[in-house]
Structure 1
Amino acid sequence: MKRFLTAAFVLALGTASAADLRIYPSFAEVREPVRASGTTLTVTLPEAAWAGIIPGTLDLDGLAFSSAVQRLEATWLASLEGKAVYLRREGEGAEAVTLVRARDLLVKDAAGRYRTVRFEDLSFDVLPPVNPQSPVQSLTFTLPQAGAGTLSYLTRAVTWSPRYTLKASTGGAQLSALADIRNGTELPYDVKGTELYAGDVDVQGSPQPVPMPLVRAEAADAAGFATSAPKINSLGELRGLYRYALSTPFTLPANAVVTLPFITPKLTSFERYAGLNTYFTPQNASGTMSRFYRFKAGERLPGGPLTVREEGRIVGQTNVSETAKGAEVEFSLGNDPDVRYSRTAQLVGSEKDSKGNVVKTTYKVTYTFESSKDRPVRAEVTETVGGRRIVIDAAPARQNQAQAELRVDVPAGGKASKGFTVVVDNS
């Protein structure tokens, strides 16, 4: 933005602001260098941008002040009240009129008559700013002495988020990510230094409505930007947060999303399988399995949406939560009608107490899988069993809840069966 290095520092709508940005998933810290040659420093922001600032976060770092006064300033158009503007009439030239009130565009013509007009029918002797009818907020600091410092504030209008693509094929899989940096304000930023933070950070203040970006500026495709687009580098961990930095300055346009290549983590493991997660029941059941994926990445993954492609085609989308390096990511993309299961639960025996109440029951659970695929498929079942004491396949499990797990390879176009024994002891 236009900067006057005198007694006042003005952030003017429509020009780019040189700033450092520390961007979090739900807010950003904006840090701008300022200098005052006198004892006052005035910061002016358009109302739309001010609405995104978290109350109580605007501050001066490195520059002491004795007081600060915030107020709503008049619009640019209001500064022309009582002055001549020009009214364009259809089929006629423009006539000089006097702007009486900017609020409702009341003008007075040469004959002394008053009327309200449309803004687009007016013309001016000077170049109007962007959104000349929008008000601005000003914050004036009173300083003990001149000096330089950093203006900082938190805004919910600038955020970032990763989005992942998992490309799978018969030869394996590759995970890559893009970073979307969003600016929901009418203020463009010439960003000198940018840090991205991944993790859970809470800040005070009620969330403010943020305008939806109107423009998507894809960094990889923008003319004149592809060769100089910044790269995102890891800065490591900071008290449970993970930090990334952009390698070079860049421009974050107003009401826009800038998308940059993010990370391409190496996968240390990757599996596809037909899965079923269910709860124990003494009743028989049947149905279709679901399409499951499981992988581990060689670096930490910030949370974000994940698109899965098989042989270049989209097969589903899900969300990845914040994941530590080497932690397992497992998810389902819906039913797999080519793999069906049938489940039988047979009561093997039971024991009663002296009052005739059943206190222990033993079941034999058998799963039969049938696949119509032209290739072998792994079938996995996780069945949660509840009870005071649980024994699964003669191995004691923890009290109150346990899990029985089955894994079996089903041949192409064939069947496979596997089972387990459950003892539920409620004595």
Structure 2
Amino acid sequence: MKSIVTLALAATLGAASAADLRIYPSFSEVREPVQATGPTLTVTLPEAAWAGLIPGTLDLDGLTFSGAVQRQGAGWLASLEGKTVYVKRDDGTAEPVTLIRARDLLVRDAQGRYRTVRFEDLIFDVLPPPNPQAPTQTLTFTLPQPGTGTLTYLTRAVTWAPRYTLKASTGGAQLSALADIRNMSDLAYDVKGTELYAGDVDVQGGPPPAPMMMESRATAGNASADFAAPKINSLGELRGLYRYALSTPFALPANSTVTLPFLTPKLTLFERYAGLNTYFTPQNTDGTLSRFYRLKADQRLPGGSMTVREEGRIVGQTSISETPKGEEIEFSLGNDPDVRYTRTVQTVGSEKNAQGNVVKTTYKVTYTFESSKDRPVRAEVTERVGGRRITIDGTAKGQNAAAELRVDVPANGKATKSFTLVVDNS
């Protein structure tokens, strides 16, 4: 019989897996180089790698294979079966025993007696890996010929998100961003090359993992004394996705968040105002306006959370979606009790059809704003109107139009603004 020699390459992902990462908001593509010098390539993955892996995404890139078999293997502790380990006695000394079965921690002592022990009472001559009792998953690829390639898979365990800080003062405003790269697994990564992608990318394979507790956070500034923080550089657009790259390799510890400086866009527009977004009703109304902000940036902004500070103090948080360069961002941070409004509606006239039904009505809507602030404030109202044909202040607007009011309210003063509305449903 002809002898066939099979070379099994064990690419075990241990304390730190050397890999390239392409990180998206809800998943990552892990890319790890592999090499086979024979007709078989065996890759052994610990349970930590499988915890967030998206099923059906394991593949070999650049290396053709004719078949692959996945099986669950024994964990690290099972490799010690039949070997000597030690059990801690009540008096603190170590008793040598033979590990018989790893799955239920059955041991045999020097007198030949069997008993089960607790894992925390076991003592080893070598450093055990994380989760030493967990089984491993093994993939065996059959190759037409040896070569080098890249093992790839998608995982929910590694994600990223930008977070912005808007610092406003009487002199203007500044916008800056940080990038949080999160590893929610027990597997550490020694990352050689990193790309970050922002945008709407959906993949199949179950929901994302639960958010990580804040106690697990590790930042670029304190991860280690000799940590050389990489810079994040823009790589432009890829089919509607924003693409960035880290300038240097970095370590992504298990169960951690690495935070890096991200963007410092220049604001081409920044405005504060007291605002109201509402719908038309013929009834009189009153209430308070909300604290609104409006801004534009000179570069693309990936979606993320935003913290707003005024004079160094936090005044609210919000979130923004992916925003192209120069597109307006508008958001509210809640009510402003110092700016109130009173809205009155007067029916100016109406027209009826032959059946006596009102088909056209003209209204005059008046807003009176009152501010108790010691400085002037801009008040803006957007009032949306439903109907077949809408005319606002003599200008035809078509269907589902909006009336917009802008007025400066003096300090501790009042201001009034009106518009005429014609709703024609004939």
Q: Is the 8 A contact 1:185 1:210 kept in 2?
A: no
| Equivalent position of 1:422 in the other structure | 421
Match for 2:50: what amino acid?
Answer: W
Determine if contact 2:288/2:339 at 8 Å carries over to the other structure. yes
| Partner Cα distance (1:256, 1:131) in 2 | 17
* Residues 1:211 and 1:66: Cα distance change in structure 2 (over 3 Å): farther
Matching residue of 1:367 = 367
Between 77-86 and 345-354, report the one with greater CA deviation.
Answer: 77-86
- Between 322-331 and 29-38, the greater mean CA deviation after superposition: 29-38
Structure 2 residue 16 is the aligned partner of structure 1 residue 27: no
Are the counterparts in 2 of residues 271 and 295 from structure 1 also a CA contact under 8 Å? yes
Letter in 2 for 1:73: G
Paired letter, 1:415: K
In structure 2, the residue matched to 1:138 is 138
CA distance in 1, matches of 2:94, 2:367: 86
Q: C-alpha displacement at 1:208, in angstroms?
A: 5.6
For 2:323, give the aligned amino acid: T
Distance 2:359 2:210 in 1: 60
Q: Percent identity?
A: 78
Q: For 1:351, give the aligned amino acid.
A: E
Tell me which residue corresponds to 1:403: 402
Name the residue aligned to 1:8: 9
- Within 1, Cα distance between the matches of 2:211 and 2:321? 26
Provide Cα deviations, 1:234-290, integer angstroms capped at 9, x if missing partner.
Answer: 110111111001111111111111000000111110000000011111111111110
**2:51–2:185: 8 Å Cα contact kept in structure 1?**
no
Gaps (5+ residues) in structure 1? 1-5
How far has the Cα of 1:98 moved from its partner? 2.1
User: 2-side partners of 1:85 and 1:239: how far apart?
Assistant: 57
1:92 to partner: Cα distance: 5.6
Q: What is the aligned partner in structure 2 of residue 3 from structure 1?
A: none
Unaligned 5+ segments in structure 2 are 1-6
Deviations 1:365-392 (A, max 9, x none): 0000000111100000000111121111
Displacement of 1:225: 4.4
- What is the correspondence of 1:6-405 to structure 2 with a 5 Å cutoff? 7-14=8-15, 16-91=16-91, 93-207=93-207, 209=209, 212=212, 215-225=216-226, 228-399=228-399, 401-405=400-404
CA shift, 1:417, in A, is 0.2
SS in 1 for 2:120: helix
TM-score scaled to structure 1, two decimals? 0.95
Code of the residue aligned with 1:205 in structure 2: it is: G
Is the Cα contact below 8 Å between 2:166 and 2:307 reproduced in 1? Answer: yes
Distance 1:76 1:9 in 2: 14
- The residue that corresponds to 2:4 in the other structure is none
User: Could you tell me which amino acid in structure 2 is paired with residue 95 of structure 1?
Assistant: E
Tell me: CA distance 1:153–1:319, structure 2 relative to 1, closer, same or farther (3 Å): same
Hey, what's the Cα distance between the residues in 1 that align with 2:149 and 2:239?
27
Q: How many residues align?
A: 419
Within 1, Cα distance between the matches of 2:280 and 2:219? 50
One-letter identity of the residue aligned with 2:109: D
Looking at structure 2, the residues matched to 98 and 41 of structure 1 have their Cα atoms a distance apart, in angstroms, of 33
The 8 Å contact of residues 341 and 368 in structure 2, kept in 1 or not, is answered as yes
Asked if the contact 2:365–2:418 (Cα under 8 Å) also holds between the matched residues in 1, the reply is: yes
Return 58-67 or 295-304, whichever deviates more.
58-67
Q: Residues 103 and 211 of structure 1: is their aligned pair in 2 closer, same or farther, counting only changes over 3 Å?
A: farther
Distance 1:19 1:98, change over 3 A: same
Q: 1:12 to 1:237 in 2, by over 3 A?
A: closer
